Structure 1
């Protein structure tokens, strides 16, 4: 096992401010007779923004008494299957994680443990062969689109840099939505798109961002940690992704598209409680109309974004929530333009 093993980790006991804030996002407590035993396996540290949102939701559910929660972080792909099997053998009811690099191995584990529920971040769809293996992804294109509107209004050079981890669907769709929003304000805006080949390499992301700034970008889309640091050092603006980092970069991060994992986890726990858990795609629970994503408060940039952009943001958000407007989901690899 990783250093957290099967014991409750010190991080879990301390929790996080974001996890406590997430309490308001969750529905009423489940009526399960006992807390669901949940184990999570992460390939990166829980500080990483995507994994951090899953972790925060689980910490909050544990604080409410809905689950018992343990986790392992920084688990390599080559060790992932072993850790999964150890948690299954320990009798956990639900396994959480992200299996983008270990799809086949993860599904083979699910087949060997049919009485365990698996809810895994994945680029693939559920398969009837694995009836206890459900998938999710951060379909936060709605919030990404709204943040793009703000970016398009705030960029003076009409040149935006975008730094992502890998060009996989979960990243691609957010970038495309962001770009579509920016073009609402400036149809001729240009984008520099780069991928660093890592989910957690802030120095590399920072250096890539520096290169985009040198090439004329005056605003950066920070899909990875490290990008906002580059923007801050060079005195330009940035748009955040998945978590709200405005407090860390009060003069840099204008807005962020937030992911709320709480609805996804709540749906899975409800199905486990009533015995209906099956192979499903939980992606819809990340949609704005389901409470799975939102645009972060502007904080120090309140009143600094042009009224035209904010009016459009308000209009589109209302239309998205009502179903009158749908943000396109484009999973193809975005290109510089």
Structure 2
């Protein structure tokens, strides 16, 4: 009996060793059990406007790219009313989303309230406010650098020295882009004047178009299209336009000269890395929208290559290099821009 017991113990030891060796080999060959593979991060987004709206489209694009890479499971809700925003946020938090994104500019208190109730969920929100401990981080499209460059192009291209500017709301996020654009235009053309208007909406192309028509009637020959609808007016009246956030030149090849682009990918990558490492906390992710992080850029001239004067292109490229080299800083001015008297 003793001999049989000893032999049984030996067989058990050999089996354990064999299983351990098999597991090691599987890991070495990249065939470890699926349970050990890193799980996808559950991400949700809540948008108050349609995903085709330019600002939100950049967040949506970055998250879809992360989804295509297999990094995240991504779900979203668009055109959510302000009154329903809190409910939708809570729904995604209850469903186990590890990271929730959105734009909370008009629903700031609701978003922050939900974040407090779900401290283990990471919230990354477009916001004018500061981060909130322990889990509410903020971001924004700090694209004032390429906005300054597009202003230089507009200032050098206008023939009437009159530029029209149509914005959504006069909030800091919009104001600083307009001011940067205006300063860029003044650098190359001190005589330029501006007509500024806000339509009181984030997505009302017909209203933006009408505001642009009024500016053209006053003599503006280049329009700053902070909102959709402006470039339509410019095209119909055979004027030029400057794009914002996205590149719409493919849709307006003879109208949109240049655009200041926002790339949300660096911001999303930084947030996902923190979530995966269990290190997400209340931070300001605004820096990831700067040109040095590739969060912003000047769109290629494309169809206007050769149509923009060579000396103007040289000035713009020199200024772009100065920004990237840290030798020139675009001033951030967040007060409401005014029309030239």
Q: Same-fold call, TM > 0.5? A: yes
- 2:100 equivalent in structure 1: 95
SS at match of 2:339: coil
Q: Aligned pair 1:37/2:42, yes or no?
A: yes
Q: Quick check: 1:296 aligned with 2:299? A: yes
What's the Cα RMSD here? 1.1
Distance 2:41 2:64 in 1: 13
Aligned residues: 305
Secondary structure of residue in 2 paired with 1:79: helix
**Alignment-derived partner of residue 73 in structure 1:** 78
Match of 1:108 among 107, 113, 120: 113
2:217 is equivalent to residue 217 of structure 1: no
TM-score by length of 1: 0.89
After TM superposition, list the pairs within 5 Å mapping 1:176-191 onto structure 2. 176-191=179-194
Matches within 5 A, 1:312-331: 312-331=315-334
Query: Is structure 2 residue 158 aligned with structure 1 residue 155?
Result: yes
After TM superposition, what 4+ stretches of structure 1 lie above 4 angstroms from structure 2?
A: none
2:276 aligned residue (273, 276, 279): 273
| C-alpha separation in 2, matches of 1:311 and 1:126 | 40
Separation of aligned partners in 2, 1:131 and 1:187: 47
Q: For the residues of structure 1 that align with 2:154 and 2:72, how far apart are their CA atoms?
A: 39
Q: In structure 2, how many angstroms separate the alpha carbons of the residues matched to 1:93 and 1:248?
A: 37
Corresponding residue for residue 206 of structure 1: 209
Question: Hey, what's the Cα distance between the residues in 2 that align with 1:159 and 1:189?
Answer: 6
Distance 1:331 1:69 in 2: 33
TM-score under structure 2 normalisation?
0.88
* 1:126 paired residue among 98, 115, 131: 131
Distance 1:113 1:272 in 2: 15
Which ranges of structure 1 fall in alignment gaps of 5 or more residues?
1-31
- State the match for 1:195 in structure 2: 198
Q: What are the superposed Cα offsets for residues 20-54 of structure 1, whole Å, 9 maximum, x if unpaired?
A: xxxxxxxxxxxx92111100000000010000000
Q: 2 CA distance for matches of 1:214 and 1:85?
A: 48
Structure 2: unaligned runs, 5 residues or longer = 1-36
Q: Which is worse superposed, 32-41 or 60-69?
A: 32-41
